Each structure stands twice: as C-alpha cells, then as structure tokens.
Structure 1
C-alpha cells in the first residue's frame, strides 16, 4: 500500500508540477505508460470524491 501511495504521489507531482509526459514518467519510475496513466486516473478519481 505504501509503495502505491508513493508511486502515485510521484506520478502526480511529475505530471502536474513538472509537466512530464506519461512516457517520460514511466521511464523515470521504470513502469509502463499504461501504469502511469492508471495511477494518475485513480489519484484524480480519489481527489474528485474527496472534493
């Protein structure tokens, strides 16, 4: 669970604060572009439910 939290946090920061693409983030974190997209979408859904 903690690993997923930190991975999600890294994806969100790199995507929205630094402007990296999903492919660039995937290469940096050694995960696929699809995994980046999935983590990002789950985080955004949690934020929508929170707000």
Structure 2
C-alpha cells in the first residue's frame, strides 16, 4: 500500500494492522495529517 498520493490525508488509523516494519519516511509528505494512530503494531526505529 502506498500513501504517496494521499497528500490531503488528515487522519490515518493503522491500529492493530500487524505491521512489522521500520518506521517509514512517508509521514513527511503527509503535510495535512492531524491524527495518527499506530497502536498495537511492531514498528522499529521510531
């Protein structure tokens, strides 16, 4: 899944999606993002 073209995204909820990955730099392009929910995943390098 790519969020590259979601530059107007205001809310991103990936709670309990079993994501087991390094924390991505794509958050830097989400300039309109106001709410980010990451609970219950296994992100590394936060």
Q: Normalising by structure 2, what TM-score?
A: 0.24
Instruction: Pick the structure with more helix per residue.
Output: 1
Instruction: Pick the structure with more strand per residue.
Output: 2
Name the structure, 1 or 2, with higher relative contact order (CA <8 Å, separation 6+). Answer: 2
Q: Normalising by structure 1, what TM-score?
A: 0.23
